[in-house]
């Protein structure tokens, strides 16, 4: 039944990541202080349509969730709502679903709907906004590939997980004089691989944004051996293209650069390919590890807790001020806002000449492209 107070709705769409509950908690606490009631829709956008599934949110059921991973509201990246059918290709949501969602919002007296998600989930939010639903967006993804924000929450926690894995691999690689390959998430952006590779002392970082070859990777291993360092840590992003331009899918094999599928593909498996190829070419013992969904779970880092908390509070501010169709964003040191349509227009990827890449090269980290000289010397 509709509340006698203005109501703010909250939902979490797409994949889970550390910090979702921190956003929910902050939004609820901020909203209640402004006189709103809060409800949370269950299982993402699915909770908006028949049968409507939601729960009241208050200080009691959002207490002590700041450091919990996942989301108390549940989420899904499947079901009746879908934003991606192929790489970079968006589809329109069924107008009947949008109308059902709008009817739910009206019936429950929802003044504003806070949608927490990545580029796919926010693409759905944009379509809800265009259908007349009062939507505010919050950027969430471990991939850090949403434009218009310096960082998305969840990214720092994923980097911390990958860095911890590299710290552990470093000791065993050194002890056994092995090449170790760590495959990390990130889809079509190399942010996790780049930041974890730098933080964890990686020797080679392979990302989608910088073309690489097996010859250059192997040469880096040999160069390290000539310097007396008989182990190498290779970090590879799941979306790094093979030298022939193809991608590696965990269940569907390698797909050429021109091959498209009418659905969102699941990347994975390139780490094993890199390990086997290096082992074959150099006759070395090589081990591969796929970190996988460990990067999505667990307690959010302090940085992600602070960022998520600010996002939640400022999302309520946008609702209170009637700033619908906007997404909160982090532009250090401030939290600002931008049109959702602008944020989802393109993916934010690593710039090959960025300061982080230059710093890595200056330390001698290879990117498989044969560029070894420090750019600072130019």
Distance set, CA 117 to CA 155, 294, 345 (Å): 13, 19, 15
Q: Is 131 within the bounds of a domain?
A: yes
- Judgement on whether residues 187 and 208 belong to the same structural domain of the protein: yes
Extract the runs of DSSP E, i.e. beta strands, from 204-331.
204-206, 232-237, 247-249, 253-255, 286-290, 326-331
333 inside domain: yes
Q: How many CB atoms lie within 10 A of CB 170?
A: 17
Mean pLDDT, rounded, for 291-313: 94
Output the pLDDT for position 375: 54
Q: 222 and 106, same structural domain?
A: no
With a cut of 50, say whether residue 321 has pLDDT above it: yes
CATH number for the domain that contains residue 273: 3.40.50.460
Indicate if 145 and 176 belong to the same structural domain. no
Residue 1 resides in a domain: no
> Does the active-site annotation cover 143?
yes
Does position 81 have pLDDT exceeding 90, yes or no?
no
76 and 140 fall within a common domain? yes
Output the pLDDT for position 41: 96
Domains: count for the chain: 2
Interval 257-281 mean pLDDT: 76
**Residue 365 included in any domain:** yes
Mean pLDDT for 353-361 is 96
Asked whether the whole model's pTM tops 0.85, one would answer yes
Tell whether 32 and 70 lie within a shared domain.
Answer: yes
pLDDT of residue 86: 44
Q: What is the mean pLDDT of the chain?
A: 90
Is residue 200 in a domain? yes
Asked if residue 282 and residue 176 are part of one domain, the reply reads yes
**Residue 75: what pLDDT?**
83
Does residue 366 share a domain with residue 270?
yes
Same domain for 66 and 163? no
Question: Please, which pLDDT band fits residue 374 given cuts at 50, 70 and 90?
Answer: low
Taking the C-alpha atoms of residue 116 and residue 312, their distance in angstroms, rounded to an integer, is: 9
86 lies in which domain range? 7-153+300-343
Residue reference for tokens 């065993």: 172
Q: Evaluate if residue 8 carries a pLDDT over 50.
A: yes
Mean pLDDT of 78-104: 76
Q: Do 237 and 371 lie in a common domain?
A: yes
Active-site pick, 143, 145, 156, 304: 143
Same domain, 261 and 121: no
Domain assignment present for residue 370? The answer is: yes
210 and 292 within one domain: yes
The pLDDT of residue 371 is 86
From CA 44, how far away is CA 53, in angstroms rounded?
10
Give the distance, in angstroms, between the CA of residue 148 and the centroid of all CA atoms in the same chain.
14
User: Is 263 domain-assigned?
Assistant: yes
Same-domain pairing of 37 and 179:
no
- CB count within 10 Å of CB 307 equals 26
Model pLDDT for residues 132-163, shown as the tens digit of each residue: 999 999 999 999 999 999 999 999 999 999 99
């Amino acid at each position: 039944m509709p509340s006698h107070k203005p109501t703010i709705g909250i939902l979490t769409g797409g994949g889970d990541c550390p910090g979702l509950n921190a956003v929910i908690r902050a939004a609820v606490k901020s909203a209640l202080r402004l006189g709103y009631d809060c409800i949370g829709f269950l299982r993402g956008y699915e909770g908006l349509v028949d049968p409507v599934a939601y729960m009241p949110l208050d200080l009691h059921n959002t207490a002590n969730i700041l450091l919990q991973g996942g989301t108390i509201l549940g989420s899904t990246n499947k079901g009746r709502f879908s934003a991606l059918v192929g790489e970079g290709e968006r589809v329109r949501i069924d107008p009947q679903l949008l109308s059902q969602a709008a009817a739910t919002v009206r019936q429950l007296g929802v003044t504003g709907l806070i949608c927490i998600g990545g580029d796919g989930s926010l693409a759905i939010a944009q379509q809800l906004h265009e259908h007349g639903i009062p939507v505010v967006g919050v950027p969430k993804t471990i991939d850090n590939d949403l434009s218009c924000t310096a960082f998305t929450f969840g990214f720092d926690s994923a980097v911390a997980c990958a860095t911890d894995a590299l710290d552990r691999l470093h000791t065993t690689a050194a002890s056994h004089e092995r090449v170790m390959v760590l495959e990390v998430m990130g889809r079509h952006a190399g942010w996790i691989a780049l930041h974890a590779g730098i933080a964890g002392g990686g020797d080679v970082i392979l990302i989608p944004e910088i073309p690489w070859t097996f010859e250059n990777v192997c040469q880096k291993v040999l160069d390290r051996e000539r310097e007396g360092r008989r182990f190498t840590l290779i970090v590879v992003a799941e979306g790094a293209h093979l030298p022939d331009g193809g991608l590696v899918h965990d269940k569907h094999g390698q797909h050429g650069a021109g091959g498209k599928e009418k659905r969102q593909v699941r990347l994975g498996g390139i780490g094993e390919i890199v390990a086997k190829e290096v082992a074959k070419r150099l006759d070395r013992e090589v081990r591969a590890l796929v970190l996988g969904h460990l990067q999505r779970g667990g307690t959010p880092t302090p940085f992600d807790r602070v960022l998520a908390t600010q996002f939640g509070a400022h999302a309520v501010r946008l609702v209170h001020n009637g700033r619908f169709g906007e997404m909160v964003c982090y532009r250090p040191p401030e939290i600002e806002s931008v049109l959702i349509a602008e944020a989802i227009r393109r993916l934010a990827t690593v710039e090959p000449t960025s300061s982080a890449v230059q710093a890595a090269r200056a330390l001698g980290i290879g990117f498989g492209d044969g560029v070894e000289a420090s750019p600072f010397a130019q």
